Structure 1
């Protein structure tokens, strides 16, 4: 068959985001700190952007206690009149004035306390300080440094003796025997905190028990951990009591001795400067006064505008440049001006989208915000909020991802308020949070000597009107952090 070239024509329909939409999506996904950094960088990089000064009326309004981005409960109720197409960032409709989206929420007389991050001594620093007090040779000091560096934040040694030996010869060029490593390792295992440099949980508990006084309870506890650790971890207490010939009262004291030990001795020490501190900065604040809910968008994003002289240059650009240098200058002014205009517009669009989305969430979950009771959470999915705001599902998803709200009862991620629902036998819709709350209440008040199995929990919830399967019970139980019935059993 002869090869030949053919020319064909086909028609395709593709959906592509404009550069403005891409920038809007990127800003929407950012949290408050990331947006503030982005604004600062944009101000530094683009000479066409400057921070707008507040006029006297806005300043006075702020000083008199008016929260510029507040919404009362009457305004927060779900309302489809706020609907607006968020997929088209070119839409100029903006019902919320700029000054209501750019606030500090503090008057001039308020004292603002900024959190201070202090440097703490790390576990590695503490161990190094102690081992340096020992009379070690240069070779032993190198071994000690490597072993300490192989201890994780919980205090466990992450490498075996043979692996440490191989690492030292290949990475440090230090030829050592297992015996030399064990000698230094034993010295480290005698340092504080007790249980450090253990290979596993059993080893960690034994190291701690070895330092306790030789009381009968401690001696029995050492035997349990040493010889019956598998049975102990599975809470087969009857087998252990029979093997050790202990009654319930004696074994209860043994359990108390073991439970007093620290399974993570390294957690007593901070991560220091080498560990990145994790802070949650709320994007919204909800205040409750009786039946009144006030929603505030928290941010330090200033109001931006086109720099005056740059605006004048753009307005006076010649229609036809006289030479190449003037053409490049005109192109620079035009590019920076258009980039600044789009950025300012997309930033306003982001603020409006976030506020409208959160207002819809507060309106939908009003009962929860008034009571802080998880059982009051209504079933809510992305589609519900999209129907109220008029935004696309992808916009709602991005607007709520990584965002947090501060309430009188604590700080919640926005994803916390989204949950699927099911029909109660009464015909009402109930959320999965309500079911989990009922499950948690049953487990917390069960007889710890005879905890409920998943089948029993399923029957109890069915009696309460929640038609739910046993597999779903197991999933909710694990999500709540409760183990199986056997591991919840107590003496």
Structure 2
């Protein structure tokens, strides 16, 4: 065998994972709160960067530093740019001073209720304590203060109890936990009774006492205990007024003049600025050369951060716009009309890699006319139907949940029967798939639902 030694010249393409590229991918996959934390961290490490809130009136001219940013800005015709003269004012939708109370009021703003009811709801929200509880003694005070009928008050209180975080608006721990079960569509009379009467026994680990009281097995009792432990006893506590950690929407979908627009969250809480002290160093001819190099290096890092944030926004808007176009029926009519959609479809449309779409939807949320939804919510596989279009798994789950909700409680529907009902709707599905979706919804099988009713 002859061995030939020589030099060959070949040309190939390779992706080099630079620090800047890694930062770009990392920022793209961040949620809004993670991005804000990253900006704060960068500001601590880079003296060039200063961060300020909306209330800080100081303005800095960025033009000399980031002239090229506009070249990379994606502007879609559906994106609504904030302007104080615009009919839809972004500041009226997302408060600059954010806390639990503003967060709840912001959600109420999207309910289709009249002005008087909204006023009552906001008064109730302002009466909540830091844990999200509503003192029972305040109810009579609110009714008397607002001069309203108790039926109107109770109606508005129910609106508040539907808001996130799940469980707010209860008068005590028991009611708080029951609200969470109701909002999760968990209907279990025995579980509700245990919450009403036996929380102290659970706290004291008197499991055998509970088993004897309700004539249930220890395993069943422990299942109930675990469900209760997974509920939040103080839903408002996580909303520290000085360092809020709740979900913020990256985009808001709003209907204006019979058309939908996308309003981008511009991260109003934190603005990045360049420290003017270092600007003087760069402009001073007598500045030390090493000092100038240091400032230029840090300035480059600051600009990379700004560009990556801008790219994140552009990608988020593109994906949101694609979702809006593909899910128009959902935004018009609601959950029943969501369609199956895959990330690869969006990737092909936007001419991006699927991994980019995956990062772009990670931890991103949009506020719609029907509530807050994670971007990932809109991506699901289609199920075969007898018609021309597939149906999303989300729609199937809603059908199963609604069907069980409206069933004859004395004769709960089996998974096989639900499968037949789906087939009658033109949806081909196996019984085991029905069982899988039912379990994912946290709904017990028909035999246990019947047992619970009999008890």
Please tell me the TM-score bracket, short chain as reference.
0.5 to 0.7
Partner residue in 2 for 1:329: 291
Which stretches in structure 1 are left out of the alignment for 5+ residues? Answer: 1-6, 60-88, 123-152, 155-190, 207-221, 235-258
1:96 to 60, 70, 75: 75
* Residues 442-461 of structure 1 mapped to structure 2, 5 A cutoff: 442-461=403-422
CA contact (8 A) 1:119 1:272 kept: yes
Partner residue in 2 for 1:172: none
1:300–1:14 distance in 2 versus 1, CA, 3 Å: same
Partner residue in 2 for 1:300: 268
Structure 1 residues 337-376: Cα deviation after superposition (integer angstroms, max 9, x where no partner): 211221121121111111221121122111111222x221
Structure 1 residues 409-444: Cα deviation after superposition (integer angstroms, max 9, x where no partner): 221111111111023111222211222222223322
1:38–1:230 distance in 2 versus 1, CA, 3 Å: closer
1:94–1:119 distance in 2 versus 1, CA, 3 Å: closer
CA contact (8 A) 1:120 1:270 kept: yes
1:395–1:111 distance in 2 versus 1, CA, 3 Å: closer
Secondary structure in 2 aligned to 1:351? helix
User: Does 2:431 align with 1:470?
Assistant: yes
User: Does 2:246 align with 1:285?
Assistant: no
* Residues 53-92 of structure 1 mapped to structure 2, 5 A cutoff: 92=71
Secondary structure in 2 aligned to 1:294? strand
Secondary structure in 1 aligned to 2:90? coil
Secondary structure in 1 aligned to 2:311? helix
Structure 1 residues 35-92: Cα deviation after superposition (integer angstroms, max 9, x where no partner): 22333443454343457999xxxx9xxxxxxxxxxxxxxxxxxxxxxxxxxxxx9995
Larger Rg: 1
CA distance in 1, matches of 2:275, 2:304: 14
Aligned residues: 334
Partner residue in 2 for 1:32: 32
CA contact (8 A) 2:33 2:247 kept: no
1:456–1:268 distance in 2 versus 1, CA, 3 Å: closer
Secondary structure in 1 aligned to 2:411? coil
User: Does 2:308 align with 1:346?
Assistant: yes
1:38–1:443 distance in 2 versus 1, CA, 3 Å: same
CA contact (8 A) 2:412 2:449 kept: yes
Structure 1 residues 142-197: Cα deviation after superposition (integer angstroms, max 9, x where no partner): xxxxxxxxxxx99xxxxxxxxxxxxxxxxxxxxxxxxxxxxxxxxxxxx9964244
1:112–1:233 distance in 2 versus 1, CA, 3 Å: closer
User: Does 2:255 align with 1:270?
Assistant: no
1:90–1:16 distance in 2 versus 1, CA, 3 Å: farther
CA contact (8 A) 2:100 2:239 kept: no
- Give the TM-score taking structure 1 as reference length: 0.56
- Give the TM-score taking structure 2 as reference length: 0.59
Instruction: For residue 14 of structure 1, report the CA deviation from its aligned partner.
Output: 6.0
Which stretches in structure 2 are left out of the alignment for 5+ residues? Answer: 60-67, 102-127, 134-172, 175-196
1:481–1:358 distance in 2 versus 1, CA, 3 Å: same
CA contact (8 A) 1:36 1:300 kept: no
CA distance in 2, matches of 1:107, 1:269: 31
1:52–1:455 distance in 2 versus 1, CA, 3 Å: closer
CA contact (8 A) 1:288 1:370 kept: no
* Residues 47-196 of structure 1 mapped to structure 2, 5 A cutoff: 47-49=47-49, 92-96=71-75, 100=81, 105-106=90-91, 114-115=99-100, 194-196=200-202
1:434–1:336 distance in 2 versus 1, CA, 3 Å: same
* Residues 216-255 of structure 1 mapped to structure 2, 5 A cutoff: 222=213, 225=214, 228-230=215-217
Higher relative contact order (CA 8 A, sep 6+): 1
How big is the alpha-carbon RMSD for the aligned residues of Structure 1 and Structure 2?
4.9
CA distance in 2, matches of 1:263, 1:338: 51
User: Does 2:25 align with 1:19?
Assistant: no
Secondary structure in 2 aligned to 1:280? coil
CA contact (8 A) 2:81 2:263 kept: no
Partner residue in 1 for 2:332: 370
